[in-house]
Structure 1
Amino acid sequence: MDLLLFSLNKEDITPLYEQLYEGIKDAIIQKKINVGEKLPSKRKLSDFLNISQTTIELAYAQLLAEGYISAKARVGYFVEDLDELPYVEKHTILPKTPTQKPTYTYDFNPSGIDIEHFPFSTWRKYARDLYDTAHADLLLTGEAQGEFALRQEIATYLYQSRGVECSPEQIVIGSGTEQLLPMLIRLFEEATVFALEHPGYPSVDRILRQHGRSVFPINVDDEGIIVNELEKSNADVVYVTPSHQFPTGAILSATRRTQLLNWAAASPTRYIIEDDYDSEFRYTGKPIPALQALNGKDKVIYMSTFTKSLMPSLRLAYFVLPPSLLAIYQRVFTYYTSTVPRFDQHIVANFMRDGHFSKHLNRMRKIYRKKHNALIDAFTHYPQVRITGSQAGMHILLALEGNEQQLWQSAKTQGIGVYPLSQYLLQPAHYADARFLIGFGQLYDINQAVDALMKVWQLKKITPHSL
C-alpha cells in the first residue's frame, strides 16, 4: 500500500491516533486498500510519519476492534472484506455552537449576587482541611437525605433565624429547587392539583406540567397571593413565596397568612410549599416569620437554598418535611442518594458551625442594604418611574409608561440587562404600564447604571438644580 496515502496534522486538536484511524478506515471503505492487503508494520509507519509506535498501535487496535482489519501473530495486520461488514456512511457533524449568555455593561439581573465580598480565604481553609486523607471516608457514598452534620446546622440556623422548628431527620438536601421539586411532587397522588402564584416561577410551572400535574395559577396583589381565589380552586397544594413574593416583591400580609394556614388546615390533603428563597435580606421593619413557624409545622413544606446567601454555583438547596409526609418520603425514596457532593456539604456545615455563615450574612446584609438604598435613591431622581416590592430581597419592581418589549430591546441593544415582568407570567395578563425586575446584587456603580438605563429610555433626570 502507498504510505503517502496518509497525512497527519499535528496542529489539529484531534489526536494523531484518531486521525490515522480515520484515514485508514476511510481508505478501506472506499476500496483504496485491497482486501487482504497487509498494513505497514508499526515501526515502518512510525518512521515514515514521524510519530510514535504507540500512536500507530492505538489506531490499529481501534481498527481491529471494529473489524476493519485482522491480526496474524508475528505476521501483521490485514484488511478484512467489507462485504461482510456493515457499511456506515460517514456524515459530517457540524460543530455545535455553545449557547452563551449575553454580556452586559450593566446587568440588573435579579439572580445576581455580590461576588467581590465573598470570604474566599476562609472558604479555602475549610476546603483545604477537608481534602485530606484524614477525611478519606468522604469519598464514599453518604447519607441519602444529606450529611447529618449539615442538616443539623441547617435545623439550628432555621430555628434561630426563621423560627422554623424541625429536626435534622426532617431535612432533605439536594442540588437545587429543580431537583428537589420533582421529589416533592411524588409525595402526592397523581390527581393532586397544584396552585402557583401568578406571576411566579415559570420553571416551577414547567416542572409540574412535565410531571403530568394540573396547575392552577392564583393572582397576587400588594398583599401577596389572593387566598379567596385559592379557596375557589380545587387545588390541594399551593406553592408560595410569602416573605418576598417572586417576582412582584409583595409580602404576604398577616391576614393572608392566617387565611392561607386556615385553608391548609381545612383538609388533610392540603399542604403549603413555602419557598423562602431570599428571606435573609430585609431592609425595613422586623424579619417576617416563616409560615412554618406560625402553627404550620404539620401543613407547611419549607424550602430554601444557599443561592443568595452564599453562591448560586454551589447548587445546594433543601426542604423540611412535616412528619405526615416524612414517612411517605422514606417509603418512596428508599433508593435515593444525595446529589450534592459530600465535600461541599461538609464545607458548608463547618462554615456554619464555626459562625462564619452568620458573620457573612451580617456583612452581606449591610452591603445589600447600601446597594438597595442607593438604587432607590437613584430612581427618585426620575419621577416617571414607580417602584414597588422594595422592602426585602435583592430586586425591586419598576413600572413606567411605554411598550415593555420595545423598552427591553432598546436597553439590551445598548448593553443593559433588564428583565420584563412578562417573562414570569403563567397565563396571559395585561398591565397598563411596562414593568421590569431590577436586581442590584451584582451591581457596583449603581448611580451610573441607573443613569445609563434612564438615558436609553430617554427619561429626564430631575435634580434640585433643575427645579
Structure 2
Amino acid sequence: MLYFQLHKENTIPLYEQLYIGIKNAITSKQLEVGARLPSKRELAEFFTISQTTVELAYSQLLAEGYITSKPRVGYFVEEIDELPLIYAKQQSVKFQQVKGERPSYAIDFSSAKIDEDAFPFTLWRKYAKDVLDMPFKHLLQTGERQGELALRIEIANYLHQSRGIQCSPEQIVIGSGTEQLLPMILKLFGDHAKLALENPGYSPIPRTQLKQIAIPIAVDTDGLIVEQLQRTDANIVYVTPSHQFPTGAVLSANRRTQLLKWAAQAPNRYIIEDDYDSEFRYIGKPIPALQGLDQHDRVIYLSTFTKSLMPSLRVAYFVLPPSLVKRYRENFNYYSSTVPRFEQHILANFMKDGHFSKHLNRMRKIYRKKHDKLIEIFSTYYPQIQISGDAAGTNILITFAHAQSETELQQLALKHQIYILPLSNFFVTPQNTTERVFLLGFGNLPLTEIATKIHQLMQIWGISKKA
C-alpha cells in the first residue's frame, strides 16, 4: 500500500495531494515498474475519500505518463526514464536575482521622463474599460497593416489642426517607436539609401546598425548646417527642425528653404522630419512643420506620443508623401502593426473625444512653470552657467567651465544617486572641447523640488552659489 497521508485541513485539494504522493512514490522507486495500483474503490476506502477524488488523481498521472491503464484490469506503474545527472544537478542551481535594467535615482534629470502625477489615469482607465468589452471582440484578430484606421483618422485630424499638415489616413503608418520605424523608412530606398544624421542627434539612432552608414552633419544655433549636407553624397537626411535634439536649436527659415531645395534638386532625395517635442514651446509662436512647407513631396513626417502622453505607450507614426505609399505597400505587404489593437483604439477614442488636446494644453502649462522655475534658479544663483535650448521641450542645456571632464562629472553625480547625461553622449563622432555641456531634463521633477535638486547637483560639482 502507499505510505503517505492526506491532510484534509490542507489548502491543497485532496486529489492533488494524492497525485503528488503517488508520483513521488513512482519517481523514488517505492513503486516498481509494472506494479498494479489499488483500484479507485480500494484507494477511496483506504484514505476515506470519494472515488471521484481518486479518479482525478489517476487521470492526471495518466496524462503525464506516470501510469498506464489496462481496461477491466487496472492501473499500472509506467517506466520513467531517469533524467541525465547533469540536468538533475542544474535544477539545484540558485540563480542570482536579476536587477532591473533601469536603476532608480534620488534625482533624475533624464530628458525622457514625463510628469507622472499629471497623467489622467481615471480618464484613461475609463477608455481602456470601454474597449475591453464585447462589442470590441473583433480586436482579438489581426488588424490593419498600417495601423487601425480609427487611430490614423484621428492622427490626420490632429496634424491638420495643430501642425498644418495635410494628409490622408492612407499616408500614415503606425509603429512602436522611432527606432523601429526609421529602418522601415530606409528600407523603402533599398541599397540606394545614404543617410545623413544631425551631430549631435537622437542617441538611439547612431548607436544602432545605422552608425556604420550614417553621415554626421554638424548642428549650430540655427540647426542643421545644410551647406555641409550639400557637400556629401547623402540622399536622405534625418532632422529635428522644430526642436533639435539635444541642443534645442530651431532650424532657421533660411535653412528650411535650403533643405527643401536640396531635396528637390535630385530624384530619390528625401527629408525625414522628426517633429520631436513640438507640442511644448515656451518662446514665440509654434514652429510650422517642414512637411507643411514641402511642395515636392520630399518630406517624410515622423512623430510619437512619447512626450505628449507617455513613453510606455510605444505609439509612433510616420506620414509618407503620396508618391511613396504604393512603394511602401509593395515592400511591406507582409507587415503587421507592432502596436496592440486595443491600445490603438483606446488612444483613438481618447483623441476623438477631445481629451488629447485638453491634456496637451494642461501639460504645456505644467511644463512652462517648471521651465520658468529652472531658468529663474540658474539666472539668480548660477549666472556663470550658460543656458541654451530653452525655447521648447522638457530639457535645457547647461554649459560651464570645469577642471574635471564631463565623464568625471557624470560619475561624480552618479555616486550621489543623480542621473544626468553629458552632451557628448549624443555625438556620432567624438568632439574635442574645453566646455562642459550637460542635458538637464525637468519633465518629472516636482515644481516645489526643482530648486533643491539643482542646488544639490551644483554643490556636488563644486559650482559656487551666488550670495
Q: Is the 8 A contact 2:413 2:419 kept in 1?
A: yes
For 1:154, the equivalent position in structure 2 comes to 155
Shift, 1:368, TM fit: 0.6
For 2:7, the equivalent position in structure 1 comes to none
Q: Which AA in structure 2 matches 1:372?
A: H
Using the size of structure 1 for normalisation, the TM-score is 0.85
Question: Which residues of structure 2 form unaligned runs of 5+?
Answer: 5-9
For 2:189, the equivalent position in structure 1 comes to 188
For 2:95, the equivalent position in structure 1 comes to 95
CA offsets, 1:212-251, max 9 Å, x none? Answer: x722222212221222222222211111111111112121
Give the distance between the partners of 2:171 and 2:32, measured in 1 at CA: 70
For 2:456, the equivalent position in structure 1 comes to 452
For 1:7, the equivalent position in structure 2 comes to none
Within 5 A, what are the aligned runs for 1:13-162?
24=24, 27=27, 36=34, 57=58, 60-61=61-62, 63-64=64-65, 71-73=69-71, 74-80=73-79, 82=81, 89-90=87-88, 91-92=90-91, 94-95=94-95, 97-100=97-100, 101-162=102-163
Give the distance between the partners of 1:26 and 1:199, measured in 2 at CA: 66
Give the distance between the partners of 1:221 and 1:325, measured in 2 at CA: 31
For 2:245, the equivalent position in structure 1 comes to 246
Within 5 A, what are the aligned runs for 1:239-388?
239-295=238-294, 298-380=297-379, 381-388=381-388
Counting matched residue pairs gives 447
CA offsets, 1:174-212, max 9 Å, x none? Answer: 1222232232122111242211111222322244439xx
Query: Aligned in 2, Cα 1:423/1:103: closer, same or farther, shift over 3 Å?
Result: same
> 2:233 is paired with a residue of what secondary structure?
coil
Q: Is the 8 A contact 2:2 2:22 kept in 1?
A: no
Higher alpha-carbon deviation: 315-324 or 380-389: 380-389
Shift, 1:71, TM fit: 5.0
Higher alpha-carbon deviation: 125-134 or 426-435: 125-134
Shift, 1:452, TM fit: 1.2
CA offsets, 1:247-272, max 9 Å, x none? Answer: 12121112221221111112111111
Give the distance between the partners of 2:25 and 2:268, measured in 1 at CA: 64
Question: Which residues of structure 1 form unaligned runs of 5+?
Answer: 5-9
Q: Which AA in structure 2 matches 1:361?
A: L
> 2:272 is paired with a residue of what secondary structure?
strand
Give the distance between the partners of 1:40 and 1:247, measured in 2 at CA: 75
Give the distance between the partners of 1:54 and 1:396, measured in 2 at CA: 70
Using the size of structure 2 for normalisation, the TM-score is 0.85
Give the distance between the partners of 1:11 and 1:217, measured in 2 at CA: 65
CA offsets, 1:297-324, max 9 Å, x none? Answer: 6111101011111111111111000112
Give the distance between the partners of 2:21 and 2:422, measured in 1 at CA: 52
Q: Which AA in structure 2 matches 1:412?
A: L
Query: Aligned in 2, Cα 1:409/1:36: closer, same or farther, shift over 3 Å?
Result: same
Shift, 1:372, TM fit: 0.5
Shift, 1:354, TM fit: 2.2
The partner residue of 1:413 within 412, 415, 421 is 415
Give the distance between the partners of 1:369 and 1:22, measured in 2 at CA: 69
Q: Is the 8 A contact 1:270 1:299 kept in 2?
A: yes
Query: Aligned in 2, Cα 1:97/1:39: closer, same or farther, shift over 3 Å?
Result: farther
**Percent of residue pairs identical:** 51
Q: Is the 8 A contact 2:175 2:338 kept in 1?
A: yes
CA RMSD of the aligned region, Å?
A: 3.4
Higher alpha-carbon deviation: 189-198 or 269-278: 189-198
